[in-house]
């Protein structure tokens, strides 16, 4: 059953013309992560590379393609977590960085802290030799159009958020049985300057523990934070629930308790995985035993050989 990697490209409602490109993007990210695992790479290597690929893809709300804050600027959040040691690294409200997930990994590996924010994260990036990129290179025409649309007085940014794939993320188990997760996002459309969502918060925007499993979520950040969604799923798995059962229980609770929609990718130490969501759609893909699984709508599950799709 090992190795395995599962990736999501965000939950919500995607316009038809973008849905296909979103599915292509998660499949490509999954194949990249799986190739790393097959060569003996670590779960952490696999999830970071898979997420970085989606940060570089303008179809997703992370890195290039991030949604804009109320001032029309990009502020991004990302986190990683290592299931061996429970070490984690995160950045929040970071600007001018092409791949926040790689910076989050550096926070985990090169500092004693778990999260660096805004200008502090930028200073750290410079000290690590991470190149800064012009903000314009991260802003797409699509993001600009949706920013302008949501400046109108009667706009509903939470509802409109569902018009673009949201947060991206990945979970993996490598050949040695080590588990990791990574999550990255541009946040919520037209958010206040300095708003930080669930993504960089341990137990909300992700969790990984070799003894239990890993989770990467997507959806309305404030709702995910209120129920600490990732840790809630891990809790249910600790109680003996399968990844699918645990995901469904937690997503149902989030919907009923705080009226929040979202989705998750989850894996356990044996390689049992799940991709579950309460929103209309979530682009997801998984690679295991030479097969690539993927879907977009609820109940949808396609399978093809991994190598055939390369």
First to last CA, the chain: 21
Q: Is 242 annotated as a binding residue?
A: no
Whole-angstrom Cα Rg for the chain:
17
Structure tokens at 133: 């990129």
Q: What are phi and psi of 24, to 5 degrees?
A: -60, -40
Residue 195 assigned to a binding site: yes
Q: Which residues contact 172 (CB under 8 A, 6 or more apart)?
A: 3, 4, 5, 6, 33, 37, 43, 46, 47, 50, 179, 180, 181, 214, 267
Question: Left (φ > 0), alpha (ψ -120 to 50) or beta: where does 237 sit?
Answer: alpha
Dihedral pair phi/psi, residue 236, rounded to 5°: -60, -35
Instruction: Tell me the CB-side half-sphere exposure of residue 57, using CA atoms within 13 A.
Output: 25
Helices (H), the chain: 16-38, 43-55, 100-110, 118-127, 141-149, 157-161, 221-226, 229-238, 243-258
Say whether 219 counts as a known binding-site residue: yes
Strand-pair partners of 305: 291
290 is in an annotated binding site: no
199 known ligand binder: no
126 is in an annotated binding site: no
Q: Which of 229, 191, 181, 162 is nearest to 79 (CA)?
A: 181
Alpha carbon distance 265, 282 (integer Å): 10
Catalytic residues: 167
Instruction: Enter the DSSP assignment of 301.
Output: -
Binding site feature residues for substrate: 195-198, 218-221
- Which residue positions form the known binding site? 195-198, 218-221
């Amino acid at each position: 059953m090992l190795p395995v990697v599962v990736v999501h490209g965000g939950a919500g409602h995607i316009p038809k013309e973008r849905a296909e490109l979103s599915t292509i993007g998660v499949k490509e990210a999954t194949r990249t992560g799986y190739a790393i695992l097959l060569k003996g790479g670590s779960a952490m290597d696999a999830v970071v590379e898979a997420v970085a690929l989606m940060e570089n893809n303008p179809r997703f709300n992370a890195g290039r393609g991030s949604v804009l804050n109320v001032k029309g600027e990009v502020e991004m959040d990302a986190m990683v977590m290592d299931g061996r040691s429970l070490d984690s690294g995160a950045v929040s409200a970071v600007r001018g960085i092409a791949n926040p997930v790689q910076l989050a990994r550096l926070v985990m590996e090169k500092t004693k802290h778990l999260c660096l924010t805004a200008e502090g994260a930028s200073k750290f990036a410079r000290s690590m030799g991470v190149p800064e990129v012009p903000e314009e290179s991260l802003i797409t025409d699509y993001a600009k159009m949706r920013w302008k649309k949501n400046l109108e007085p009667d706009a509903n940014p939470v509802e409109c958020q569902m018009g673009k794939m949201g947060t991206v993320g990945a979970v993996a188990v490598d050949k040695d049985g080590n588990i990791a997760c990574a999550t990255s996002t541009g946040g919520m459309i037209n958010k206040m300057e300095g708003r930080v969502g669930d993504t960089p918060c341990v137990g909300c925007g992700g969790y990984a523990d070799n003894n239990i499993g890993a989770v990467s979520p997507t959806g309305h950040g404030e709702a995910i934070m209120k129920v600490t969604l990732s840790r809630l799923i891990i809790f249910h798995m600790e109680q003996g629930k399968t990844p699918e059962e645990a995901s469904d229980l937690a997503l149902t609770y989030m919907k009923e308790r705080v009226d929040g929609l979202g989705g998750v990718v989850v894996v356990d130490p044996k390689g049992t995985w799940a991709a579950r969501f309460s929103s209309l759609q979530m682009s997801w893909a998984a690679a295991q035993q030479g097969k690539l699984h993927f879907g977009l709508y609820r109940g949808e599950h396609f399978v093809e050989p991994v190598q055939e799709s390369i």
